[in-house]
Amino acid sequence: MRILITGANRGLGLEFVRQYLNRGEEVIATFRKQNNILELEKLKNRFGYALTLIPMDISSSESRNKAFLAMKSKFSHLDILINNAGMVSNRELKFGDLAKDDIIEVFKVNSISAVLVAEQFNQLFKKNSKIINISSGMGSISMRENISNYSYCASKAALNMFTKLMSNALQERGIIVIPMHPGWVKTRMGTQSAPIEQKDSISGMIGVIDSLTLKESGKFFDWQGNELPW
């Protein structure tokens, strides 16, 4: 299989790269900053041609297009796109302390850019290709009881809607599109207080991704394969 992973230089993205390479898949890993890819370079030295490294700032149309042209020149198709790149606001946004610019930036990265990446690479998808948008349980409106993280929660809810719309649009082509909740994982974003190890979350998600068929397209799953409410 050929798998494109965004935000692949650290955290969940990097663990996706490791696990897919270790089982013999072909991986294209994208990253925003060239000076922050030491671990990817180590994997490149180990796995050689199985790993392709391509810079891509997902929030830049110029960068997305440049990455697409680089990929199109090398590869005929994609089996899986994992839209993993994301962010949280630099400050805890609560009602009464909301900042428009922060909210816009989080939406731009977490929601808008993910669907634009999928659109950019659309012509490389084939029947049974899979688009996996890494969402969050915090994007579930039904499950929300907290009073903070306005921008992050709302951006992931928006990503879920984009994913549902894409699943409808690509149904006739036989392309599977889902959002996935990785669980609360030990990452820079999730903090070391999180109960789930990266390797466990990623191995779980890979298992779910492997099992997906067109009848699951447009549904919201967690890393253990449980369907979540919108």
> What does the pLDDT look like over 8-62, one tens digit per residue?
999 999 999 999 999 999 999 999 988 789 999 999 999 999 999 999 999 999 9
pTM over 0.75: yes
- Strand pairing report for 51-55 and 78-83: unpaired
Q: What is the rounded distance in angstroms from the CA atom of residue 100 to the CA atom of residue 83?
A: 25
Domain over 2-222 is classified CATH 3.40.50.720: yes
Best CA proximity match to 115, nearest among 93, 96, 94, 133: 133
CA distance 107 to 104: 5
Tens of pLDDT, residue by residue over 177-189, are 999 999 988 666 5
Question: Over the stretch 187-215, which tens digit does the pLDDT of each residue have?
Answer: 665 566 666 899 999 999 999 999 999 99
Beta carbons of 140 and 229 less than 8 angstroms apart? yes
Per-residue model confidence as pLDDT tens digits over 129-147: 999 999 999 999 998 887 7
